[in-house]
Structure 1
Amino acid sequence: MLEDIVQNVPRARHAVLLSADGLPRGATEGLAEKDVRTISAAMAGMQSLSRATAHFAGPETDRQWSQTIIEFSHGWSFLIGAGQGAYLAAAAAPDVDMQQISFRMHRLVARLGNNLTSPPRVNSEDDAGTRNTGTARRGGSGDSGFVLADLDQVIADVQGARHAVLLGADGLPRGATSGLNRDMADTISAAMTGIHAYSRVTSQFAGVQEDAGWRQTVIEFQHGWIFLISAGTGAFLAAAAEHDCDIEEFTTRLHEVIPKLTPSAAGGEGVAHA
């Protein structure tokens, strides 16, 4: 059944069905068994971290994850729920029809529905103790130099934009918007560093190409979006928005502000090589 995706979607490359604990349940032809195991483990790890960041996208108690999309210079990787404790991953070339591959993936999940149930939900019980951690810290000592005014302006200008954090490859935050306290920035930075590492592991799944570069990872929840994009050598920008935000406008503004935040990005080093 997995072959339906690669056979009916032009430029689709591979598909893997995996369990929540990272064990492969099936894969399309052309993938080595070792690669299938690697992809399954990486996707499961990334999904676990993605769920942990749900509160960054918004305070709603119903925080159901919808999908994760990873963009490389040479292709795409997609991950969606495939029932209780299962996920479907697919890979495609850069010029794939995004709507078509999404339709085929969800249709396949529906066909698998006799054996798989609804995907896990992320709610207030899953994130006990984190519901209010996004509250701005007012007047806290040491925060004045942590707030990035240029990022604050983007959040203020784009309707539905929520927060943003600039972080280093070491997992430590370098600055954030004023609506985010330092503890939340620390938590999100650590999780995003792991998500980036898992994203890069899927590079070969998206296609083999010399000098392949990771560009961004997008996590969609029913209540909002999280974007992780390259911000120059050794730096990343994580940002969150409400679900009805104009994501094209938001991501454009984020890319425009990056050169003001990191010198390496201003020098044209905005793609992290996978």
Structure 2
Amino acid sequence: MSDGRDDLSWVLTDFAQRVADVDCVVLWSSDGFPRGASEGVSEEQAEDLAAMSASAFSSSKRVSVIGGGGDLSKTVIEGANRFVILALAAERTGITVVVDTAADPLIVNVELDRLLAQVGEHLVTEGRGGSAGPLTGTRP
């Protein structure tokens, strides 16, 4: 994992501790590498979540475009005990929030938008060889 994890983990940990029922948060690059994770997330878990999140978000974004929905800034995956929010955090950067189903999704969503509005410009992942990568767009 890049050294950026240590620089950003405190922001993600603060979010996970401040917002009720948030289990963990992982920041990832569009190519599926972790850029940071909240406290308690192992490096292996962060790598797995980053890779799966980048793939799922990219697929969701493509489905949205094909279906005429236009740019996608967030997608939600609902499970029996957790739901997962995948969101565009900044250019070439996404964020995954794993939340207990007891959470109020509206509150989690508002707090996530607030976090991204406050620190989003600091989350941009630098491109490789001038390529923008698949995860671009604008935050609402």
CA distance in 2, matches of 1:114, 1:120: 13
CA distance in 2, matches of 1:22, 1:93: 24
CA distance in 2, matches of 1:81, 1:99: 17
- Which residue does the alignment assign to 1:212? none
Aligned match for 1:103, one of 100, 104, 110 = 110
The higher radius of gyration belongs to 1
CA distance in 2, matches of 1:11, 1:3: 13
CA distance in 1, matches of 2:12, 2:95: 9
Compute the TM-score of the two structures, normalised by the length of structure 1.
0.41
- Which residue does the alignment assign to 1:255? none
Report deviation, 1:108: 1.4
Amino acid at match of 1:109: L
Structure 1 spans left out of the alignment, 5+ residues: 123-221, 223-274
Residue by residue, what CA displacement relative to the aligned partner does 1:176-199 show, whole Å, maximum 9, x if unpaired? xxxxxxxxxxxxxxxxxxxxxxxx
SS at structure 2 position matched to 1:114 = helix
Report deviation, 1:7: 1.4
- Which residue does the alignment assign to 2:131? none
Asked if the contact 2:73–2:88 (Cα under 8 Å) also holds between the matched residues in 1, the reply is yes
CA distance in 1, matches of 2:47, 2:29: 11
CA distance in 1, matches of 2:43, 2:20: 24
Amino acid at match of 2:57: Q
Residue by residue, what CA displacement relative to the aligned partner does 1:183-225 show, whole Å, maximum 9, x if unpaired? xxxxxxxxxxxxxxxxxxxxxxxxxxxxxxxxxxxxxxx9xxx
- Which residue does the alignment assign to 1:13? 23
CA distance in 2, matches of 1:48, 1:114: 21
CA distance in 2, matches of 1:15, 1:47: 15
1:85 and 2:92 correspond: yes
Give the CA RMSD over aligned residues. 2.0
Asked if the contact 1:3–1:15 (Cα under 8 Å) also holds between the matched residues in 2, the reply is yes
- Which residue does the alignment assign to 1:74? 81
Asked if the contact 1:5–1:101 (Cα under 8 Å) also holds between the matched residues in 2, the reply is no
Structure 2 spans left out of the alignment, 5+ residues: 1-10, 125-134
Aligned match for 2:62, one of 52, 61, 64 = 52
1:23 and 2:33 correspond: yes
CA distance in 2, matches of 1:71, 1:121: 24
Report deviation, 1:51: 2.1
Report deviation, 1:12: 1.0
Higher helix share: 2
Matches within 5 A, 1:171-210: none
CA distance in 2, matches of 1:99, 1:8: 15
Q: Percent identity?
A: 28
